[in-house]
Chains A and B, each alone.
Chain A
């Protein structure tokens, strides 16, 4: 069970993320019983078998996008996006697309190199669950990190969390105020 921040609270996640070892075929990876999140390639290769289970979600690598999963997105019990390195920002766009274009409303997990300084941006892009790498933060650090979700309380842009930009959200005073 991994500790994650879900909707602003620290909880234990019983979703097991099935990763692919070096040299292993994602499509052929062993998938245990129980609540699992499998690589996109595994889902695409074994869709009928996995879809029948009802407790299988999909995770996207940073170079994968929601297009490949389009038809199945609505029925996913969970979707996750891997951040192999925190400087790889493709996952932010993946989340925005899932939320705004593919209508996904279920649990959306950011995992991998997920750091405190990104929490605010990640949640504004539509991730409701943040799963830092195992052991990256002590319990005390994780407690403190919850506050980072609110680093910016009233941002300028429209985003998943703030569907309207500031100029539509708030009546702002002008030069003559």
Chain B
């Protein structure tokens, strides 16, 4: 293959962002009640939304 390899950021940016969102949701819902229960679940749900997006839109 002659294509150039992707750099660190191209490979890891998306997983790092998902990691940060999930972790914020996991801990946020533990530290605060009310609004944070919903927000925490929403943040922790982002990986699943991205997964659904990839399975539909990134199929080759």
Say if A and B assemble together: no
